[in-house]
Chains A and B, each alone.
Chain A
Amino acid sequence: EIVMTQSPATLSVSPGERATLSCRASQSVSSNLAWYQQKPGQAPRLLIYGASTRATGIPARFSGSGSGTEFTLTISSLQSEDFAVYYCQQYNNWLTWTFGQGTKVEIK
């Protein structure tokens, strides 16, 4: 099983600032990585797939990068609605899809 490790566990950021979240895979997942946003009491929402492609309706302030084992989600200028938990998920390893443990982005 591929283990996905996200860092940091919690990120304190002021509105308008940039947030950089990391996700590391225990072995290469190529570009088969997705990012999700989850707000309290809600289901996860797909933000990014293919490591860098924004899903439909996702604002341009969200960007993803990386390949292999190292990935980054960047939120260029945090808005109030962006404070949430973010998860990465690999879908490279067929039939064993795994998620990271999440990064909570909180207001500084």
Chain B
Amino acid sequence: QVQLQESGPGLVKPSQTLSLTCTVSGGSISSGGYYWSWIRQHPGKGLEWIGYIYYSGSTYYNPSLKSRVTISVDTSKNQFSLKLSSVTAADTAVYYCARSSQYYVYFDYWGQGTLVTVSS
């Protein structure tokens, strides 16, 4: 059973960089065949896909966030990470990591989510 777990600061100051890590257990990122994504949910709102990474390091980002997003992978630790720069209060959200097939991108495994608040 694949499990994902987000970790990182719950409070980030405006203009700084939000950094989160997702640790995967029960399966290897290196095995291939899957995209590893970040998705966020603003308080009381819907879901917004941020971007994905493949085990090889190839990435794709939501065009609306592309200029501020970096996703990286550390296969030795079975982790992938999100960095979102120049944050504002509008980036306050619950951030989820999730897995999908690389062929059909629906999300079959999710982390529990972590709330990140942007405030001074």
Contact = CB atoms under 8 A, between A and B. Distances in A.
Contacts of B104: 32, 49-50, 91
A101 interface: yes
Main secondary structure of the interface of A (DSSP, over half): loop
A87 B106 contact: no
Contact of A97 (B96, B105, B108): B105
Contact of A99 (B48, B111, B112): B48
A101 B46 contact: yes
Contacts, number: 48
B110 interface: yes
Interface of A: 32, 34, 36, 42-46, 49-50, 55, 87, 89, 91, 95-102
21 contacts: A32-B104, A34-B107, A43-B96, A43-B112, A43-B113, A44-B47, A44-B96, A44-B107, A46-B106, A87-B47, A89-B106, A89-B107, A91-B100, A91-B104, A91-B105, A96-B63, A98-B49, A99-B47, A99-B48, A99-B49, A102-B46
